[in-house]
Copies of this chain bind each other. A is one copy, B any other.
Amino acid sequence: MKQNSEGKVVIIGGDAAGMSAASKIRREQPNREIIVFEKSQYTSYSACGVPYYISGTVETFDELIVRSPATFRQKYNIDVRTEHLVLSVDPENNRINILDKKADKTFWENYDQLLIATGAKAFCPDLPGTNAEGVFGISTLKSGINLERYLEEKKPRKAVIVGGGYIGLEMAEALLIRGLNVSLVNRQPQVMNTLDPDMGAMVSDAMRNLGVSLYLGEELKAFSVIDGKVSGVITDKRTIETDIVVLGMGSSPNTDFLKGSGIALGMRGAIKVNGQMQTNLPNIWAAGDCAETLHLVSKMHVHIALGTIANKTGVVAGSSIAGEKAIFPGVVGTAVCKVCKYEVARTGLLERDLQKLGIDYATATITALTRAHYYPGAKNITVKLLAEKNSGRLLGGQIIGEEDAAKRIDVLATALTHNLTLQNIMDLDLSYAPPFSPVWDPVQTAARKLINDI
């Protein structure tokens, strides 16, 4: 068998993970053959930027594209083939079957090393009316462009968002900025189910402050449709009239095409990988939103679809394929989100995670200011910490606030990754000047409270 570092590389998927890998391989191996099959017209775009394109904060979708297929072909000598959908993988014969969408024909392509970087797709429930005009899932640039055109052409006035996660909240901001009347339906009793319910309740209140009508603890049952166009969202409790619907019901890995290939799937159908981003088959690799990740606090495998992880795992997969030693150690579940003036951040485990794991934990929540109390513009910031009872080891952190709140989660993410205790956090030499922080950073104030409580 050839070394990883020799032979033709074929990559399925031309966004963050795939193109990070392709670029890394090209840097290390200037002459290696690299072919990328991408089902859309676009490469290397920021899917995370789509809500800001919808809101008009970002004026054209071109701005979201980091590098175009032409740039990859001309400047990096990477053979990017857009509008090519991979239909199946045949590991026994080291080949994949591809649909050329423009030519409308299928063909086989051989590989020496294969990287699967097919990302995730927005979850779309199989309910009456799902396919009506005016119902949008948001996951790709294409889906964002479709929604933006619809907003521009049809000028809808009412929107219902289904789902209270990051996408739901960011889309609520986008549609509020566009002047729509926004409602949000969420199955859980609070938005932001990636926070503990007490912190989620603060975000629910923030959403209401922004003018969003919340329908919490309600389940989506169907869409009402008139003349093929959506006219309402039907929950187990009511019908909410609307002109458009945006689905933010989570995402699932794009791995259906791997059925029967022998490539092992794990959590929620995400591809199982080791630290080198290698699948169970030695010359097949996976990275990005289609792959599993190790959670460094719970030590469990998780599926988290985020740009940071896609970029990092893409680089590691590229390094592995180029014959370099590289390891992606895992994640601690860090994420941030902005909704108008509010910032929400989280890292680590939630109370429900700790209860499932049977870990004896304690929590403390404090509200402090983002600047010295006398410095103008200081905003409230609420920090909740979770720690192991005997050891005082940090297990998770959640932050809600206005300006300058969210990025403070990074200290907690660093602390979690390296098993720091609350006392370690108290002892950190964090920066202070009146425009930036109180003399005790809010994360330290929270740590101090939890030490006293434990």
CB-based contact A434/B52 at 8 Å = yes
| Complex: A306 Cα to B373 Cα, angstroms | 18
CB-based contact B413/A64 at 8 Å = no
**Chain B residues positioned under 8 Å from A166 (CB to CB):** 433
Q: Does A415 contact B (CB under 8 A)?
A: yes
Closest chain B residue to A308 by CB distance?
Answer: B432
Given A375-B49, A432-B336, A415 and B413 contact (CB-CB distance below 8 Å): no
What 10 A-B pairs have minimum CB-CB distances, sorted nearest first? A63-B374, A336-B431, A334-B429, A331-B429, A338-B435, A414-B414, A308-B432, A332-B429, A336-B433, A410-B430
Q: How far is the CB of A287 from chain B (nearest CB, A)?
A: 14
CB-based contact A407/B429 at 8 Å = no
For residues 376 through 392 of chain A, which have their beta carbon under 8 Å from a beta carbon of chain B? 376
Q: How far is the CB of A394 from chain B (nearest CB, A)?
A: 12
For residues 51 through 86 of chain A, which have their beta carbon under 8 Å from a beta carbon of chain B? 52, 57-58, 63-64, 66
For residues 427 through 454 of chain A, which have their beta carbon under 8 Å from a beta carbon of chain B? 427-437, 439-441
**Chain B residues positioned under 8 Å from A333 (CB to CB):** 429
**Chain B residues positioned under 8 Å from A308 (CB to CB):** 429-432, 439-440
CB-based contact A406/B436 at 8 Å = yes
Given A331-B429, A431-B413, A436 and B338 contact (CB-CB distance below 8 Å): yes
**Chain B residues positioned under 8 Å from A440 (CB to CB):** 308, 311
Given A375-B57, A432-B336, A410 and B409 contact (CB-CB distance below 8 Å): no
For residues 307 through 329 of chain A, which have their beta carbon under 8 Å from a beta carbon of chain B? 307-309, 311-312, 328-329
Closest chain B residue to A427 by CB distance?
Answer: B329
Closest chain B residue to A16 by CB distance?
Answer: B439
| Complex: A166 Cα to B435 Cα, angstroms | 13
**Chain B residues positioned under 8 Å from A329 (CB to CB):** 427
CB-based contact B46/A372 at 8 Å = yes
| Complex: A414 Cα to B411 Cα, angstroms | 7
**A interface list, Cβ under 8 A from B:** 16, 46, 48-49, 52, 57-58, 63-64, 66, 166, 170, 296, 306-309, 311-312, 328-329, 331-338, 343, 345, 347, 372-376, 404, 406-411, 413-415, 417-418, 420, 424, 426-437, 439-441
CB-based contact A436/B407 at 8 Å = yes
**Chain B residues positioned under 8 Å from A415 (CB to CB):** 414
- Between A and B, 27 residue pairs with Cβ closer than 8 Å are A46-B434, A52-B434, A57-B376, A63-B373, A63-B374, A170-B433, A308-B429, A308-B430, A308-B432, A308-B440, A336-B431, A336-B433, A338-B433, A343-B436, A345-B431, A347-B429, A404-B407, A406-B431, A407-B407, A407-B408, A407-B436, A408-B410, A410-B441, A414-B428, A417-B424, A417-B428, A417-B429
Q: How far is the CB of A398 from chain B (nearest CB, A)?
A: 12
CB-based contact B436/A336 at 8 Å = yes
**Chain B residues positioned under 8 Å from A58 (CB to CB):** 374-376
| Complex: A427 Cα to B418 Cα, angstroms | 11
Partner of A375, one of B16, B52, B335, B336: B52
Q: How far is the CB of A355 from chain B (nearest CB, A)?
A: 23
| Complex: A15 Cα to B311 Cα, angstroms | 48
Known: A48-B432, A334-B431. 7 other contacts (CB 8 A): A46-B439, A52-B374, A52-B375, A57-B375, A58-B375, A308-B430, A417-B428
**Chain B residues positioned under 8 Å from A410 (CB to CB):** 408, 410-411, 428, 430-431, 441
CB-based contact B430/A413 at 8 Å = yes
**Chain B residues positioned under 8 Å from A307 (CB to CB):** 432, 439
Partner of A437, one of B52, B337, B343, B407: B407
| Complex: A66 Cα to B374 Cα, angstroms | 10
Partner of A64, one of B296, B374, B407: B374
| Complex: A417 Cα to B410 Cα, angstroms | 15
Q: How far is the CB of A40 from chain B (nearest CB, A)?
A: 18
**Chain B residues positioned under 8 Å from A312 (CB to CB):** 426-427
Q: How far is the CB of A338 from chain B (nearest CB, A)?
A: 5
CB-based contact A409/B431 at 8 Å = yes
**Chain B residues positioned under 8 Å from A411 (CB to CB):** 410-411, 414
Given A57-B375, A372-B48, A418-B420, A407 and B434 contact (CB-CB distance below 8 Å): no
